[in-house]
Amino acid sequence: MKFTLQINEGPYQHQASDTAYQFAKAALEKGHEIFRVFFYHDGVNNGTRLTTPPQDDRNIVKRWSELAEQHNLDLVLCVAAAQRRGIADADEAKRNGKDADNIAPGFRISGLGQLIEGGIQSDRLVVFGD
């Protein structure tokens, strides 16, 4: 089955991203396809490479980046939500006159149309949020 996942909450404050990660991992292990993972609202905070959790805690961002690399996942941060929350890739940083970018490896920034397309192209769209 082909899935798109939508993640509406940031890391650590809320378990939505953890649950979505476990879901994605389990689905991939069972041979399902993850068409896209779309991060919205505070969910875009899952895509900053500056995250530095304590060593005995899980690194939520790194975990997503690694899963993306292993399975060629499409991790998309909503551009409007990312701009509001200070998440930028090199292009976004330049366009908005910022002195740095902070997007984590494996993530990209795009529009809400990517979420709708995920719903159209996938057998199931699963929302992880509050």
Partner 1 sequence: MSDIKKFMYVNRKAPYGTVYALESLEVVLIGAAFEQDVSLVFMDDGVYQLAKGQDSSASDMKNFSPTYRALEMYDVEKLYVARESLEARGLTEADLIVDVELKSADEIRDLMEEQDVVLSF
Q: Residues interacting with partner 1, by CB under 8 A? A: 6, 8, 40-41, 80-81, 111-113, 115-117, 119-120, 125, 127, 129-130
Give SS3 for 118.
helix
Report which of 31, 49, 29 is spatially closest to residue 89, judged by C-alpha positions: 49
Maximal C-alpha separation, the chain: 44
21 φψ region: left (φ > 0), alpha (ψ -120 to 50), beta (else): alpha
Which residue lies nearer to partner 1 by CB, 4 or 65?
A: 4
Residues carrying an active site annotation: 78
Cβ nearer to partner 1, comparing 41 with 67: 41
CB 93 to partner 1: min, Å: 23
Nearest approach, Cβ of 111 to partner 1 (angstroms)? 7
